[in-house]
Each structure stands twice: as C-alpha cells, then as structure tokens.
Amino acid sequence: MTRYEQCRIERTKLIQARSALGEMRYYDINTVASNGQTQERQMSLNDDFHKWVYSFKPSVKS
C-alpha cells in the first residue's frame, strides 16, 4: 500500500504541475493565440499527456 501511495503522490504532483503550466498561458502577455504552430504543438503535448494519464496501469503487489 505504501508503494501505491508513493506512486499516487508522484502522479498527483505531475498532474498539478501540468495544470498550473496550462493555466499560465492565460497570464502570459507574449502568447499569440493565432500562432498555428504553437497551438498545434500544444495539442500534441496535450495528447501525449492524456495518453500517459489515462493509460496508467498501477502495479498490484502484495
């Protein structure tokens, strides 16, 4: 159980950090919404992140 909790805490930290970075774009005055390349890259990063989050299979050890 301790191993599971350690993994869960690490994953939660990563998810929270990712969320904070995503929210920072609303405060960045240098962000250009019409820049297609930046938007396309962000979508690719989001896809990779979603695959990582939703495909995670915790190991079961007794």
Domains in the chain: how many in total? Answer: 1
C-alpha 11/C-alpha 6 separation (Å) is 9
Q: Which residue has the higher pLDDT, 32 or 54?
A: 54
Angle at 22 between CA 6 and CA 38, to 5 degrees: 130
In a domain, 7, yes or no: yes
Domain that holds residue 21: 2-54
At residue 45, the pLDDT reads 72
In a domain, 61, yes or no: no
Residue 53: pLDDT over 60: yes
In a domain, 32, yes or no: yes
In a domain, 39, yes or no: yes
Query: pLDDT exceeding 90 applies to what percent of the chain?
Result: 0
In a domain, 46, yes or no: yes
Rg (CA), the chain: 16
Query: Which of 12-16, 28-32, 43-47, 50-54 shows the lowest per-residue confidence on average (mean pLDDT)?
Result: 28-32
| pTM of the entire predicted model | 0.43
Mean per-residue pLDDT of the chain: 74
Give just the sign of the alpha carbon dihedral 41, 12, 19, 14: negative
C-alpha 22/C-alpha 43 separation (Å) is 11
